[in-house]
Structure 1
Amino acid sequence: MAFEENSLPLKLRPYACDSNTCIEFKLIREVNDLEDANLSFHPEMTHQIYGENEQIFGYKNLYIQMYYLSCSLDLYLSIKYDDKITPDKADGIEPDDIREPLLNYLPNKFYTNLDRFLMQLKIQPKIQPYGHQLHAYRLSDRTFEIYKADFNCAGFRDFHQRLRTFLIFYIDAASYIDEDDDKWVIYLLYERYLNKSGEQCYGIIGYMTVYLYYAYPDKIRPRISQVLVLPPYQRSGHGKRLLERVYKDFKSESNIVDITAEDPSGEFVSLRDYVTVQLCQTMNIFSVNNLKQSGFTKEMIQKARDEWKITPVQTRRIYEILLLKYTNVHNEDEFKQFRLDIKQRLYQPIKFNKKSHALLQDPAYQALLTDPDKRKAYLEKEFQTVYEYYQEILHSLDKQN
């Protein structure tokens, strides 16, 4: 039922809850984790399940537990509440259905009996990573490993159907990929750890899906579709390492044109900028002398594509970020040259779209074409946005180094 909580009569407001708040996730490694509140995390979004307002009506103190075993991702689902509204108490309004909208996105098999769910803990050490290992790294005395898999790996489809459920809660407009299409490859990120019995286990902490598109005449253009690091492991650099490994995985394959991304979010754009600048900054073509003397060149595009399978548009971003790195912003002439370079690029779409009939009817676009002062103000505003963003990327790179 779609409603605004404040629009409800006072007596009914206790029966309305925020669906993002009432759902609790946990990744369970030990029985004691059930009682550890520090392991809890919540969805960022539930609008695909419970509607645009992300509200559930009809239950007092609603509490939905979705607990996953860290290695197998076996799921335990529990729905609890203190009281349920009845139509006679709510002017004929029925309580919302909690289960059915949720079941549309859950795997076919899950547990509703907690004891049976916890019995699966004993087999977690037997759960091995899917696919083959590409990389391992240490972070804060913990070990993480990256694997590459596809749907031909035994048992992987069932595992993926459990893993993909997180997408709906963390990626806007997410949809499930076609597991029958053999052009999908999946990069899996695990933490290797010892349980309390000293047994080695592999807990999944994130993943990335990549589709191998055909590129004429006999090439492949991989497209990154979905990237997710689970919330307990975010803000630790795992996404950067995962994306970097994808570039390194395709680096030596001669049939790869370049690596693209499907409808990238702002967060992914930042991640890609960080990773690709880091990969390219030691290349001779991006040296300070080359950047300042030659400007942006076709050779840069070709070298970045040959070396790291980076697209031309992304190469331009790398050029601009590194140019800022080597520009003395306190030197008026240097900074002016940098600013003009960026503004020339920002002006290109305006010039290019002169033939667009729809844009020509737009008064704001007309003003950019005909009014120098408005065009100047527009370009300056856009430049400041770009400049501040590039500073953030460089600051992140400096911190990492």
Structure 2
Amino acid sequence: MYVEEDLLKQYVSDALECLKVKFVNNIDDISSAEPKHKVEFAYQQFGEGETIFGYKNLHLTLCYTEATMFPHLIIEHSGKIENSKQEPDDIYKLMEIEIVKDQKDSFENREIFMEKVKEQINFEPFGTELPTFINDKKTGKKFALFRLDGELTEKQKLYVEHIQSILFTLLKK
């Protein structure tokens, strides 16, 4: 009995340890090792225990396009449990709960995600730019806040939903 329990423990992962988030600005960033950010919460997807069952040495990387906030989940593991009474967790299904409908294609499909990465180069933020709060001369990146006033268009509402989809890993509901 104990041997089986020890074997099963190898297939249980702490979601807070194995799930990382990173922001992608170009296609090369997808496969680069860094930077990755730890998540604060995973119980909304993986239950109160925040555990994932069925995979050995599990690593999850939730990539987001920097500007347009389209997600893509990379799942890596050294083995999937077989011949168990309990099926492995369907990670895509559990995590897509917070994903906006037009984000779902890029979430599972790397080719679609890479297209979204390319498309974001032409993205123009909505609203009125507030004063720039950081201008990083080393990378050439400018960080600014934008304010949306009045009634939002459907496209603007969808963009706000994209941004909100990442909050499930950072904020409690």
Give the TM-score, by structure 1 length. 0.37
Choose which of 44, 67, 74 in structure 2 pairs with 1:71. Answer: 67
Question: What is the distance in 1 between the residues matched to 2:51 and 2:62?
Answer: 18
- Alignment RMSD: 2.2
After the TM superposition, list the runs of 4 or more consecutive aligned residues in structure 1 that deviate by more than 4 angstroms. none
Cα deviation, 1:14-57, whole Å, max 9, x if unaligned, reads 10101122222221112221233222112111012111111111
Question: What is the distance in 1 between the residues matched to 2:119 and 2:81?
Answer: 41
Mapping 1:159-308, distance limit 5 Å: 159-172=159-172, 174=173
Question: What is the distance in 1 between the residues matched to 2:136 and 2:64?
Answer: 24
Larger Rg: 1
**How far off is 1:148 after superposition?**
0.9
Are residues 1:17 and 2:13 paired? yes
1:365 aligns with none
Question: What is the distance in 2 between the residues matched to 1:70 and 1:55?
Answer: 28
1:83 aligns with 79
- Secondary structure at the aligned position of 1:17 is classed as strand
Cα deviation, 1:224-269, whole Å, max 9, x if unaligned, reads xxxxxxxxxxxxxxxxxxxxxxxxxxxxxxxxxxxxxxxxxxxxxx
1:101 aligns with 94
2:146 aligns with 147
State whether residues 131 and 153 of structure 1, in contact with CA within 8 Å, keep that contact through their aligned partners in structure 2: no
Are residues 1:136 and 2:103 paired? no
State whether residues 130 and 153 of structure 1, in contact with CA within 8 Å, keep that contact through their aligned partners in structure 2: no
**How far off is 1:140 after superposition?**
4.9
Question: What is the distance in 2 between the residues matched to 1:72 and 1:81?
Answer: 28
1:382 aligns with none
1:180 aligns with none
Aligned residue type for 1:162: H
C-alpha change, 1:59 and 1:32, in structure 2 (3 Å) is same
- Secondary structure at the aligned position of 2:124 is classed as coil
- Secondary structure at the aligned position of 1:37 is classed as coil
C-alpha change, 1:128 and 1:60, in structure 2 (3 Å) is same
Aligned residue type for 2:74: S
Choose which of 51, 54, 60 in structure 2 pairs with 1:58. Answer: 54
Are residues 1:44 and 2:43 paired? no
Aligned residue type for 1:106: I
Specify every segment of 5 or more residues in structure 2 that has no aligned partner in the other structure, as ranges: none
**How far off is 1:170 after superposition?**
0.9
Question: What is the distance in 2 between the residues matched to 1:97 and 1:78?
Answer: 13
**How far off is 1:139 after superposition?**
4.8
C-alpha change, 1:105 and 1:154, in structure 2 (3 Å) is closer
Aligned residue type for 1:57: F
C-alpha change, 1:59 and 1:138, in structure 2 (3 Å) is closer
Cα deviation, 1:93-126, whole Å, max 9, x if unaligned, reads 3333323221211121331232332123332232
C-alpha change, 1:161 and 1:51, in structure 2 (3 Å) is same
State whether residues 26 and 118 of structure 2, in contact with CA within 8 Å, keep that contact through their aligned partners in structure 1: no
Larger relative contact order (Cα-Cα within 8 Å, sequence gap ≥ 6): 2
Q: Judging by fraction of residues, say which structure has more helix.
A: 1
**How far off is 1:73 after superposition?**
1.3
C-alpha change, 1:135 and 1:53, in structure 2 (3 Å) is same
